Amino acid sequence: MALTFAASSHAAVRKASPLGRAVRRSLTGWAFAGPATVLVVGLSLFPAIWAFFISRARWNGISPGVPVGWSNYQRLATDPDMLAAARHTLLLTVLFVPSSIILGIVVAIALNQRIRLIGFYRTCIFVPYVASAAATGILAGFVFNPQFGAANDVLRHLGIPQQQFLESPTQALYVICLIALWGEVGFCTVIYLAALQDIPRELVEAATMDGASRWRVFRHITLPELRPVTVFTAVWQTITAVQLFDLIYTTTRGGPLNSTQTVVYYIYELAFQTQRLGYGAAAAYLLFAVTLMLTIGIIWYSRRRGSEVF
């Protein structure tokens, strides 16, 4: 009888052990992931929800907030500074996104060749991307300085009149776009380089044997194969352009004459310089909504063209 009881107990333990092991594995996993999850929720989800309630109030961060409903959002539609910042952001995005994608494809094709020191060249292209944006902005301030900058020194030797660059209201935004391209082309290059190396060689060899030129191979084989990657890059670079802040902060501070003031920098001025936290939060949520719609639009268009990547 004792033997029968021991055998049944051992069988029950063996039946329960898989469940117990699963529970222990789950608890172990959450023990590692739990603190990071709490940190992410505490530093992202909770502030986002709190900012929404702030956006419906007039608050300077010190005195009690006054609920104003949706009036902050209504004022944004007629705010001339907000509209000007939106135009600057749109122009920057239109210039930056296609240029970064085209340059990324061109440089990736050049670096996909079998040449000497190819690893060194790839590293040189990617280094500006991993460099600090603040350091990039400070360095660009010296390069494009109208008095003693290297850019004007080159123009002087070429016999071209000197330019004001970051101190010119008509040139500053284009120079910002150029600096941003210098820092972001490396990212696009690495993404496209990985995609180029993933294209089956059989397709290229078959097209070449059929007499296709390099241009026709690129147009009818390479580009279609790169389409999903292009969708991802377009979404990423659009978000990067819309949210550009650190480069503007370290170079022009929105000047001269607010000619480089983007939406994100305008939000910074509202919230942290004029202490209009409610109005700034409303502008931030509007920017989030526009960015979300742009992302959904790009993905929807790509799926219509048969280039699903998300």
Evaluate if residue 58 carries a pLDDT over 50. Answer: yes
pLDDT score recorded for residue 3: 44
Evaluate if residue 160 carries a pLDDT over 60. Answer: yes
pLDDT band per the 50, 70, 90 thresholds, residue 9: very low
Q: Are 283 and 51 in contact (CB under 8 A)?
A: no
pLDDT band per the 50, 70, 90 thresholds, residue 1: very low
Query: How many Cβ atoms are within 10 Å of 6's Cβ, its own excluded?
Result: 10
The rounded mean pLDDT for the chain is: 86
pLDDT score recorded for residue 260: 93
pLDDT score recorded for residue 306: 62
Q: Are 184 and 98 in contact (CB under 8 A)?
A: no
Evaluate if residue 16 carries a pLDDT over 60. Answer: no
* Token reading at 117: 């020191």
β-partners of residue 57 are 67
pLDDT score recorded for residue 203: 83
What is the dihedral sign for C-alpha 219, 220, 221, 226? positive
CATH of domain 76-304: 1.10.3720.10
Q: How far is CA 138 from the centre of its chain?
A: 21
pLDDT score recorded for residue 31: 84
Query: How many Cβ atoms are within 10 Å of 222's Cβ, its own excluded?
Result: 19
Q: Are 13 and 19 in contact (CB under 8 A)?
A: no
How far apart are alpha carbons 36 and 34 in whole angstroms?
5
* Token reading at 7: 């055998």
pLDDT band per the 50, 70, 90 thresholds, residue 36: confident
pLDDT band per the 50, 70, 90 thresholds, residue 64: confident
pLDDT band per the 50, 70, 90 thresholds, residue 308: low
pLDDT digits (tens, 9 = 90+) for 263-293: 999 999 998 888 899 999 999 999 999 888 9
How far apart are alpha carbons 68 and 256 in whole angstroms?
33
The reported pTM is 0.83
pLDDT score recorded for residue 307: 53
